[in-house]
Amino acid sequence: MDIKNEAVILLKKYFGYDSFREGQETLISSILDGKDTFGIMPTGAGKSICYQLPGIMMEGITLVITPLISLMKDQVAALKEAGIRGAYFNSSLTPGQYRKALALAKQGTYKIVYVAPERLMNREFLDFAQSVKIAMVTVDEAHCVSQWGQDFRPSYLKILEFVEHLSQRPIISAFTATATKQVREDVVRILRLEEPTVLTTGFDRKNLFFSVQKPGNKYSVLKNYLDTHPGKSGIIYCLTRKLVEEVCQRLAAEGAAVTRYHAGLSDEERRQNQDDFIYDVKPIMVATNAFGMGIDKSNVNFVIHYNMPKNIESYYQEAGRAGRDGERADCILLYGGKDVITNQFFIEKDNENEEIDEEERALIRERDRMRLKKMTFYCHTNDCLRGYILSYFGEKAPGYCGNCGNCLTQFEEQDVTRTARRLIGCVDSCGQRYGLNVIIDAVHGNNTEKIRRYFLDENDYYGLESDKSVHYLRQVADHLLLNDYLVQTDDRYSVLRLGPKAGSILAREETVTMKVAKDREPAQKQAKSKKIDYDVKNPELFQALRELRMKFARTQSVPPYVVFTDKSLKEMCAVMPENKEQMLQVSGVGESKYKKYGEAFLEVIRAYR
Ligand code: ADP
Ligand code: ZN
């Protein structure tokens, strides 16, 4: 039989899908043709199947290298559900478990083996790898090999050494969700891919709605969102543990089904909270960026960033955890000026990675500052947000997507020269010594303790813009910062200085214009976005199927979406299959899952009918 036809048949048999998604077929064929292969696809696009499926078809073992320990367990559980034998090797196993699994692996028990990069050169692991036929080494999260990437891991540099220790060179395949041009080149060069097939699918996630808000009170905006989206599951990302605690406590006190996750909690509690989230016991998760690697909960309906993250790579990855099921989902960033300073602080004090020397560190810091700047631009741009992200990743994008906060807002170009001159003038006249808030307070004419202490109420510019709101002054100041009229020092007590373009404003040679939103009425926008939500047919049946799914999930100790995704359940509600044949038509129902669950689900559907 034609090998590619066989792939389609196995796709249905093991995974329950009728057809390949964009890019999958090309990547799978390339691997089956014996070629090195590099796939760059956004989160949720379906990378796993690109190596799992050929992994099943090829003679020998497929080794999957991934840094995401929590992902390994889930992936192996999902493989098992599909009827495929897999195992994983990482620091979460006890020495006894590790040895036992290795012995089984040596006997050829597993088709697909996940391993953490630190383990590769470990003696026993290497022994195993040398004693079996390794058909393919798959490098997941391949951007980790590159110092240009946002998540450089020196242990990834050992992969090549590992491969060279094998008696036969296997096929090497690599996958990542985020790669700029430099990172792509690094992956090919550092992993020494040989004439690889390189495929980048579109990065656009059309079902995600993007917006940036700059609220005076972030908490009330968040609360309002949750109140208007009851029963939805989502993640709220905060920059610090302290803020995670605060936000989570407040929401819990107000009765929300919320849990939390950050590196300061015990392993036990983290696991518990993560499970509560995945099993929808507590559908709202407040977390630092420590949460989410490898979580592929399919029904995440929103990702709200309570703070601006450190770069676009992180943002798109975190936001991308929404809407994996292909349903409409919201990605909202709540920007505050302080977020920039907190991130700057993190960059300056980051000494975590001990494998990196001082020179490299300085270089990485420099790049981190650039990335932070681009992230800040995202929060201030009045152009299409999707377009901004896509062009950051080197992809062409139309100027208008029609499904982001900016595309749905009307802007008008305003002349802000007078306000700009006063802000810049104030910075100049008080010797470039103060931060943004103090300058805004001065120009606005506020009477704060600091204003009195620095005698700013005697400054020439004091109160000149008292007819404008602080919010407006902040917008203009942000615009001046982004366009090099003003600059902010990088240290902790970030101070405003005159930028290269300040002179022309003070000399009255130039005017400044910026786009200002005509109507910024977030409540209205949200109402609009809510309408597009897809509905479930036969909601009571859906509920019954969910309960059944939960029962199976509990007895098998796997997350519910590993049994069936929401999408599969919704399809069952819509088509109401009557027999095995029809059930197997439902997307996500493969033979192995049918054997385990098919009858039980058919039974519930019959009862409902
Ligand atoms: P990634 O690793 O790219 O983030 P995953 O491999 O986790 O994405 O896949 C995301 C989701 O899409 C999973 O639920 C997966 O089962 C599903 N999926 C993958 N390929 C297909 C396909 N051909 N048809 C339908 N669903 C698919
Ligand atoms: Zn847009």
Indicate if 212 and 189 belong to the same structural domain.
Answer: no
Q: What is the pLDDT of residue 348?
A: 86
Residue whose C-alpha is closest to residue 316's, from 333, 298, 328, 297: 333
Where is average pLDDT lowest: 31-35, 321-325, 604-608? 321-325
- Shared domain for 226 and 348, answered yes or no, is yes
Q: What is the pLDDT of residue 354?
A: 60
Per-residue confidence (pLDDT) for residue 353, from 0 to 100: 58
Pocket lining: 75 vs ligand 1, CB cutoff 6 Å? no
Given 392, 422, 456, the domain boundary residue is: 392
**Structure token pair of residue 37:** 């292969």
Q: Is 43 in the pocket of ligand 1 (CB under 6 A)?
A: yes
Ligand 1 centroid distance, CA of 80 (Å): 16
Q: What is the mean pLDDT of residues 169-179?
A: 92
Shared domain for 282 and 304, answered yes or no, is yes
The answer on pLDDT for 179 being more than 80 is no
Q: 30-54 burial, b for 16+ CB within 10 Å, e for fewer? A: bbbeebbbbbbbbbbbbbbbbbbbb
At 529 the pLDDT is: 40
In percent, the amount of the chain with pLDDT more than 70 equals: 94
CATH number, domain containing residue 585? 1.10.150.80
The CA-atom distances, in angstroms, between 368 and each of 69, 147, 311, 347, 372 are 25, 11, 8, 7, 6
CA angle in degrees (0–180, nearest 5) for 312-42-201: 120
Assessment of whether the complete model's pTM goes beyond 0.75: no
CA distance 87 to 318: 27
- Parent domain of 566: 539-608
Nearest CA to ligand 1 atom 5: 46
Residues 275, 332, single domain; the answer is yes
DSSP state of 404: B
Q: Select from 487, 518, 549 the last residue of a domain.
A: 518
Q: Per-residue pLDDT tens for 579-598?
A: 999 999 999 999 999 999 99
pLDDT of residue 125: 94
Judgement on whether residues 334 and 374 belong to the same structural domain of the protein: yes
User: Where does 345-403 show beta strands of DSSP type E?
Assistant: none
Looking at residue 533, its pLDDT comes to 39
The answer, yes or no, to whether any atom of ligand 1 lies below 6 A from the CB of 205, is no
Residue 186, pLDDT > 80, answer yes
Q: Total domain count for the chain?
A: 4
Domain match, 214 and 355 both: yes
Q: Could you tell me if residue 223 is inside a domain?
A: yes
Answer yes or no: is the C-beta of 313 below 6 A from any ligand 1 atom.
no
Ligand 1 atom with the shortest distance to the CA of 78: 16
In a domain, 221, yes or no: yes
User: Distance (Å, rounded) from C-alpha 26 to C-alpha 20?
Assistant: 10
Residues 214 and 170 reside in one and the same domain: no
Please tell me the predicted confidence (pLDDT) of residue 523.
40
Confidence of residue 305 (pLDDT cuts 50, 70, 90): very high
41 lines ligand 1 (CB under 6 A): yes
The predicted-structure confidence for 68-95, as pLDDT tens digits, reads as follows 777 788 889 889 999 999 999 998 899 9
406 located within any domain: no
Is pLDDT at 408 greater than 80 in this prediction? yes
pLDDT at 393 over 80: yes
Q: Is the CB of 47 under 6 A from ligand 1?
A: yes
Percent of the chain with pLDDT over 90: 61
N-terminal to C-terminal alpha carbon distance within the chain: 41
291, two tokens: 């949460």
- Please check the confidence at residue 349 and state whether its pLDDT lies above 90: no
Instruction: Kindly indicate the confidence band of residue 355, based on its pLDDT and cuts at 50, 70 and 90.
Output: low
**pLDDT at residue number 351:** 64
For the ranges 227-236, 313-322, 323-332, 518-527, the lowest mean pLDDT is seen at: 518-527
| Position with higher pLDDT, 43 vs 522 | 43
Query: Residues 453, 561: one domain?
Result: no
Residues 283 and 380 in one domain: yes
Mean of the pLDDT values across residues 315-344? 92
47 CA: nearest ligand 1 atom:
3
Residue 264, pLDDT score: 93
What is the b/e burial string over 545-575, where b = at least 16 CB atoms within 10 angstroms of the residue's CB?
beebbeebbeeeebbbbbbbbbbbbbbbbee
Tell me how far the alpha carbon of residue 552 lies from the centroid of ligand 1, in angstroms. Answer: 21
Asked if residue 135 belongs to a domain, the reply is: yes
SS3 (DSSP) at 413: strand
In a domain, 61, yes or no: yes
Structural domain includes residue 563: yes
Inter-residue contact 310 to 240 (CB < 8 Å) = no
Measured in Å, residue 103 CA sits from the centre of ligand 2 at 53
Q: Could you tell me if 156 and 212 lie in one domain?
A: no
> What CATH number is associated with residue 415?
1.10.10.10
For 320-333, what is the mean pLDDT? 91
Q: Give the pLDDT confidence score for residue 151 in this predicted structure.
A: 78
pLDDT digits (tens, 9 = 90+) for 359-373: 777 888 888 898 999
Mean pLDDT of the residues in the chain: 89
52 and 121 belong to one structural domain: yes
Q: Is the CB of 48 under 6 A from ligand 1?
A: yes
Establish if 527 belongs to a structural domain. Answer: no
Query: What pLDDT, on the 0 to 100 scale, is given for residue 181?
Result: 83
Q: What is the pLDDT of residues 494-538, one digit of tens each?
A: 789 999 999 989 888 888 988 776 654 444 444 444 333 346 788
User: End of a domain among 181, 200, 219?
Assistant: 200
Cβ of residue 44 lying under 6 Å from some atom of ligand 1: yes
Asked if residue 194 and residue 212 are part of one domain, the reply reads: no
Ligand closest to the CA atom of residue 385: 2
Q: Does ligand 1 have an atom closer than 6 angstroms to the CB of 376?
A: no
Of the listed ranges 101-105, 198-202, 419-423, the least confidently predicted one is: 198-202
**Among 49, 68, 205, which residue has the most ligand 1 atoms within 8 Å of its CB, making it the best to mutate?**
49
> What CATH number corresponds to the domain at position 18?
3.40.50.300
pLDDT of amino acid 365: 86
Q: What local confidence, expressed as pLDDT, does residue 292 receive? A: 82
Q: Is residue 534 part of a domain?
A: no
Q: Based on the number of CB atoms within 10 Å of its own CB, is 331 exposed (0-12), middle (13-18) or buried (19 or more)?
A: buried
Evaluate if residue 470 carries a pLDDT over 90. Answer: no
> Residue 521's pLDDT is what?
45
Helices 436-444 and 470-482 sit at what angle, rounded to 10 degrees?
130
